[in-house]
């Protein structure tokens, strides 16, 4: 037990924030009418090429000051320094958390030490060399054909990060090699890809930290059977068609994966933070070594900002504090990610895992129960599609849902009418952000109905249905363009935001025992199905 730990609700700033939340806060209409330089400077930041506009958050200067005091009382930046130095902040698993080293291996003053940096550089060079050989046709299948299709097999962080980034950076992708992803052990997930592939020109990347993940090994076994059924039956024949990425190379070697085709990472790399490691090999194959290094550089630029910027100008910390305010003081248990670039289709799913697997906790670091809300329910997708689905609930439903809008300012698509497509997408982003914040009151609604020539009876009938309360807190994150550098910076931004919130709530962000429970029970059920049988119910054969 850590006797020095103070629960968040017992900190002075927390109580101050509670009092402010219970006071009559100005509506966002009033706050947005304040065009003062002070409000703009505190809620609009430009970092590593990203622009954050948080002016549509329902915060006053007093709230912002109290939030910064909460961060100071919680020791957020001190905990960040411990993370950088390689302290085992993942205490329940006794591990350091050093994914930043994956994108900062060339730092002259790296706090994690040269041994870590050297190991990272060596493995980075190895898997980027493999990526280039696959891209340019030097990596050949058993029968001498170049690789045309790469199928990534993994689940969780071994799938969501690379899948998200490959789609987001599709404009940089090789036309010679197609990268596919399969994570679901349902047989049709794999079959729907294999039906378009030829064994002689197909390469499988099997990704698992422990190389014991049931879903991944099930899919890998099916992939190997597919190769065998097409004449590639021996370990030697299959070797050019199989790559292993793992933190347990001895386990993968025992399963027949060639050491020269095995790429590693370390136990201090959490799955949802692993796209920067050899887990990012599918991304490196898609965009090439140079662009992958630019992706790392974008993440590192955000790291340096987070480490060095003062709290009031620190973008990840500001996003974290606004999330704390919405979650714990304004009573908003969910958070929406709405991207207005189709290539960011998977970004909400990526952030969902990053946030909910990290901060979905009910136990403090000292083992005591948490008495405040922790990680929100994160959901979302493409904003344009959401406008024709769930945005109705955002505008007039009974839930108050904070939103992160994500927009890309310039577009590099080659379609003749691409500029018009882009104009429409960004127009909708800005309109939705403003509409959610401002709403429409009875006076304005009544005037609009009268202007449409409706009689008094019809106006009275429609008026209650056409009022929008607004006051939905939202921020807009702008990328100047969707590039490896800006993508890297945005991913690192959300990583640090999640870290800051965990530090304030006093929870461990880097374990996931809830995930482990389901895996353990599946193994037990497989070994002894009858022990899980409920009275009167016949167990289904597995």
Instruction: Give the catalytic positions in this structure.
Output: 357, 388, 519
Query: How far is it, in rounded angstroms, from Cα 485 to Cα 479?
Result: 10
Q: Are 315 and 493 in contact (CB under 8 A)?
A: yes
The upper half-sphere exposure of residue 309, i.e. CA atoms within 13 Å in the direction of its Cβ, equals: 18
Give the burial string for 189-218 (b: 16+ CB within 10 Å, else e).
ebeebbeebebbbbbbbbbbbebebebbbe
Sheet with 44-47, strands from edge to edge, namely 44-47, 50-53, 474-479, 403-408, 334-339, 377-382
Q: Is 400 left (phi over 0), alpha (psi -120 to 50) or beta?
A: beta
274 pairs with which residues across the strands?
none
263 pairs with which residues across the strands?
245
| Structure tokens belonging to residue 11 | 């900190």
Query: How far is it, in rounded angstroms, from Cα 105 to Cα 112?
Result: 9
Query: How far is it, in rounded angstroms, from Cα 152 to Cα 164?
Result: 13
Query: How far is it, in rounded angstroms, from Cα 345 to Cα 348?
Result: 7
Strand 44-47, strand 178-182: pairing: unpaired
Query: How far is it, in rounded angstroms, from Cα 248 to Cα 128?
Result: 20
Residue located via tokens 């890998």: 220
Q: What are phi and psi of 150, to 5 degrees?
A: -115, 125
Q: What is the DSSP string of 254-287?
A: HTT--GGGEEE--TTS-GGG-TTTGGGHHHHHHH
* Angle, in degrees to the nearest 10, between helices 289-308 and 315-324: 70
Segments in 397-506 forming alpha helices (H): 418-438, 442-451, 456-462, 484-505
- Secondary structure, 3-state, 486-508: HHHHHHHHHHHHHHHHHHHHCCC
| Structure tokens belonging to residue 377 | 């329910």
Collapsing DSSP to helix, strand or coil, 438 comes out as: helix
Strand 50-53, strand 474-479: pairing: antiparallel
Segments in 176-259 forming alpha helices (H): 187-194, 214-229, 235-238, 249-254
Neighbours of 79 (CB within 10 A): 19
Torsion sign (Cα): 158, 163, 169, 171: positive
């Amino acid at each position: 037990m850590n006797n020095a730990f103070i629960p968040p609700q017992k900190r002075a700033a927390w109580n101050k924030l509670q009092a402010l939340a219970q006071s009559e806060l100005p509506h966002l209409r009033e706050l947005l009418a304040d065009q003062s330089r002070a409000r703009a400077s505190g809620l609009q930041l430009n970092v590593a090429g990203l622009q954050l506009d948080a002016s549509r958050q329902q915060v006053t200067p007093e709230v912002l000051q109290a939030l910064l005091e909460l961060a100071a009382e919680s020791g957020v930046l001190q905990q960040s320094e411990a993370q950088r130095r390689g302290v085992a902040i993942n205490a329940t698993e006794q591990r350091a958390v050093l994914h930043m080293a994956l994108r900062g291996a060339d730092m002259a003053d790296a706090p994690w030490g040269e041994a870590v940096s050297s190991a990272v550089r060596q493995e980075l060079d190895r898997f980027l060399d493999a990526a280039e050989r696959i891209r340019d046709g030097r990596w050949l299948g058993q029968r001498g054909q170049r690789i045309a299709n790469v199928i990534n097999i993994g689940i969780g962080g071994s799938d969501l990060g690379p899948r998200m980034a490959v789609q987001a950076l599709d404009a940089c992708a090789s036309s010679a090699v197609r990268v596919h992803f399969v994570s679901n052990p349902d047989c049709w997930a794999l079959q729907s890809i294999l039906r378009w592939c030829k064994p002689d020109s197909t390469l499988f990347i099997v990704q698992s930290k422990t190389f014991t993940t049931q879903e991944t090994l099930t899919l890998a076994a099916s992939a190997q059977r597919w190769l065998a059924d097409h004449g590639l039956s021996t370990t030697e024949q299959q070797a050019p068609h199989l790559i292993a990425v793992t933190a347990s190379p001895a386990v993968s070697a025992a399963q027949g994966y060639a050491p020269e085709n095995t790429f590693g990472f370390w136990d201090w790399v959490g799955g949802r933070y692993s796209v920067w490691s050899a887990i990012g090999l599918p991304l490196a194959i898609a965009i090439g070594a140079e662009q992958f290094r630019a992706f790392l550089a974008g993440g590192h630029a955000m790291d340096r900002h987070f480490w060095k910027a003062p709290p009031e100008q620190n973008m990840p910390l500001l996003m974290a504090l606004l999330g704390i305010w919405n979650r714990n003081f304004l009573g908003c248990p969910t958070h929406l990610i709405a991207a207005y670039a189709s290539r960011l289709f998977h970004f909400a799913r990526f952030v969902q895992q990053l946030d909910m697997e990290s901060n979905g906790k009910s136990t403090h670091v000292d083992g005591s129960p948490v008495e405040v809300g922790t990680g929100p329910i994160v959901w979302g997708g493409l904003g344009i599609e959401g406008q024709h689905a769930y945005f109705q609930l955002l505008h007039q439903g009974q839930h108050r849902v904070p939103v992160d809008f994500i927009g890309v300012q310039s577009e590099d698509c080659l379609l003749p009418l691409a500029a018009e497509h882009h104009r429409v997408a960004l127009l909708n982003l800005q309109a939705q952000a403003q509409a959610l914040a401002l709403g429409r009151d009875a006076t304005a609604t009544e005037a609009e109905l009268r202007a449409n020539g409706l009689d008094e009876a019809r106006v009275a009938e429609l008026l209650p249905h056409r009022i929008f309360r607004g006051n939905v807190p939202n921020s807009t994150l702008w990328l100047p363009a969707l590039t490896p550098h800006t993508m890297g910076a945005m991913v690192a931004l959300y990583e640090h935001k999640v870290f800051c919130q965990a530090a304030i709530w006093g929870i461990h962000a880097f374990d996931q025992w809830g995930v482990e429970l389901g895996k353990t029970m599946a193994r037990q059920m497989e070994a002894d199905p009858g022990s899980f049988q409920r009275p009167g119910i016949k167990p289904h054969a597995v």
